[in-house]
Amino acid sequence: MNIQERVLCAPAGTDSKEADDPSGLYGPGPSVALEALGVRRTINWGKRWQTGTAAYWIATTDFSRIDGHLDKTGRHRLGSSLREEVAACVLGGFGMPFELGLAAFHAVRERGLLSEGHSVRGGEIEKILRRPLTVFGTTRKYRFPSQRADRLTRCLAFLDDGNLPSEPLQVRDWLLQAPGIGPKTASWIVRNHFDSDDVAILDIHVIRAGAAAGVFDPGWGVARNYLIMEAFFLEWARRGGVRASDLDATIWSEQATTSRLRHRF
């Protein structure tokens, strides 16, 4: 039987390698039981070359680490202080392209508004956010300047008035009391500032990848199930032998790049 015949005879959903592979080399990967917070899920772990499987994302993270992309100390940090990290994550949160949020953060920081001891006055941040921002050599407008400026101003006031806890998870819980900061943003701040592997940033890219890999139950949503989804994400990283912060960053980077290319073409 030639190659064309083997392809035509291959069962639906397989390629020619699977059809001609009695050893199972290209078939489904092993079943792996993940358990967190008293909940148990058995998933098809897959194989590292099978795009989108749990094994694939672990292997991709491992490759990024070996390639040197994930070896730098403080590699996830955007700011040099917690105050700056809060600003970067609030300005680059939900609905904001990462590059645009980062450009806004740099513009606010360059004006000295994030310096320790500086008390932000009403309208200071909004004036900066309403000015054109340079992103990759082009001029763009920041989205929701009034809303984000007000949120950041109130968050900075919260930081000035509060007593910062010492442990990363305590800081995450404390930040949830700040105006406009939810679990994802609080986790993002803590992951970046403390280089922590005790939290997960469940943005749309990570959620889609986790659901496609079977790690997340398709009925889960971050509004009601953030903690259980976070626990399973952390268990996924642990079983794969990679840092949760690196797995998170790897998924985000690859998925975000794919999304940009899809929209471009």
Contact indicator for 182, 176 with CB cutoff of 8 Å? yes
So where are the chain's domains?
A: 25-73+200-264, 82-194
- Tell whether the torsion through CA atoms of 155, 161, 166 and 170 is positive or negative: negative
Alpha helices in the chain (DSSP H): 3-9, 16-19, 54-66, 82-91, 98-110, 124-129, 145-161, 168-175, 183-194, 204-212, 222-240, 244-264
**Distances 45 to 30, 55, 66, 69, 140 between C-alpha atoms, Å:** 6, 6, 22, 25, 42
Question: At 120, which amino acid appears?
Answer: V
CATH classification (class only), 82-194: mainly alpha
Which residue's entry shows tokens 């392209």? 97
Least confident piece of the model among 85-94, 190-199, 255-264? 255-264
Give the pLDDT score at 75: 80
**Distances 23 to 10, 13, 18 between C-alpha atoms, Å:** 15, 18, 9
Rounded Cα distance, 148 and 143, in Å: 8
Indicate the pLDDT class of residue 3, thresholds 50, 70 and 90. Answer: very low
pLDDT, one tens digit per residue, over 27-42 is 677 999 999 999 999 9
Q: Which of 1.20.1050, 3.30.70, 1.10.1670, 1.10.490 is the CATH number of 25-73+200-264?
A: 1.10.1670
**What is the value of pTM for the model shown?**
0.84
pLDDT, one tens digit per residue, over 129-171 is 999 999 988 999 999 999 999 999 999 999 998 789 989 999 9
